[in-house]
A and B are shown apart, each in its own frame.
Chain A
Amino acid sequence: DQQVKQNSPSLSVQEGRISILNCDYTNSMFDYFLWYKKYPAEGPTFLISISSIKDKNEDGRFTVFLNKSAKHLSLHIVPSQPGDSAVYFCAASLHSGNTPLVFGKGTRLSVIA
């Protein structure tokens, strides 16, 4: 049973516009959520995280929103750039630090110039 779901396998966005990547989870005990970006033939790179005590976290062009009642989080990228084209993974864990992450299957973002 998939505990972290990214229902859109792919997304295309025009350069300069907003990219919104979505993620749903089923385990209400998850309390730490992360987004990773992955280029082909490289390891995932940590982008941004949020703990369950917050509903928003910003870092430059990247903002993560958490809706605990809906068990939903989203990543907003504004403005989108061609270099943002990659696979984005949503991940969650029960406790921070040493608890393994549970990953979604990823969403491939293509930013078109």
Chain B
Amino acid sequence: DVKVTQSSRYLVKRTGEKVFLECVQDMDHENMFWYRQDPGLGLRLIYFSYDVKMKEKGDIPEGYSVSREKKERFSLILESASTNQTSMYLCASSFGTGVDQPQHFGDGTRLSIL
């Protein structure tokens, strides 16, 4: 079974802090993704990565950055946390091109910014 592990299930941080959310997958997937889920808005893509040290902006990248130094790990960074970044953050991974492959998700990190 694919395992996508997010480092924290719940996190509380203060406005202005730099926040790191970590995600690790164990299936040697090329692709990794960060989404946030908000009530009534579904899942929105923040950033994604096709390979180590590669990154692409998603639909809502403002206020975030990412790091992918190793294939299995994809980190989401909130440079200076704000209250409107309170949300459920979801990491996903998938195989590369060529075949129809779904994305597999971690259990999410519920982040509260006070």
| A residues neighboring B (CB under 8 Å) | 32, 34, 36, 41-46, 49, 51, 89, 95-98, 100-101, 103-106
Q: Which residue of B lies closest to A34 (CB)?
A: B102
Give the interface size bracket for B toward A.
20 to 34
Interchain CB contact under 8 A, A41 and B100: no
What residues of chain B lie closer than 8 Å to A100, measured between beta carbons? 33, 45, 48, 58
Q: Which residue of A lies closest to B2 (CB)?
A: A46
What residues of chain B lie closer than 8 Å to A32, measured between beta carbons? 100
Partner of A43, one of B97, B102, B108: B108
Main secondary structure of the interface of B (DSSP, over half): loop
Partner of B43, one of A44, A46, A49, A51: A44
Interchain CB contact under 8 A, B42 and A44: no
Query: For the complex, what is the distance from the CA of A101 to the CA of B33, rounded to whole Å?
Result: 10
How far is the CB of B16 from the nearest CB of chain A, in Å?
A: 27
Query: For the complex, what is the distance from the CA of A105 to the CA of B44, rounded to whole Å?
Result: 10
Given contacts A44-B90, A96-B97, A106-B42, contact A101 B103 (CB under 8 A): yes
Q: Which residue of B lies closest to A90 (CB)?
A: B42
Interchain CB contact under 8 A, B40 and A105: yes
Interchain CB contact under 8 A, A46 and B42: no
Q: Mark B93-114, 1 if CB is under 8 A from A, else 0.
A: 0111111111111111010000
Given contacts A98-B50, A100-B58, contact A46 B97 (CB under 8 A): no
Q: Which residue of A lies closest to B41 (CB)?
A: A105
Interchain CB contact under 8 A, B106 and A43: yes
Query: For the complex, what is the distance from the CA of A1 to the CA of B49, rounded to whole Å?
Result: 24
26 contacts between A and B (CB under 8 A): A41-B108, A41-B110, A42-B107, A43-B90, A43-B105, A44-B90, A44-B105, A46-B102, A49-B100, A51-B100, A89-B43, A96-B97, A96-B99, A97-B31, A97-B94, A97-B98, A97-B99, A97-B101, A98-B31, A100-B48, A101-B45, A103-B42, A103-B44, A105-B40, A105-B41, A106-B42
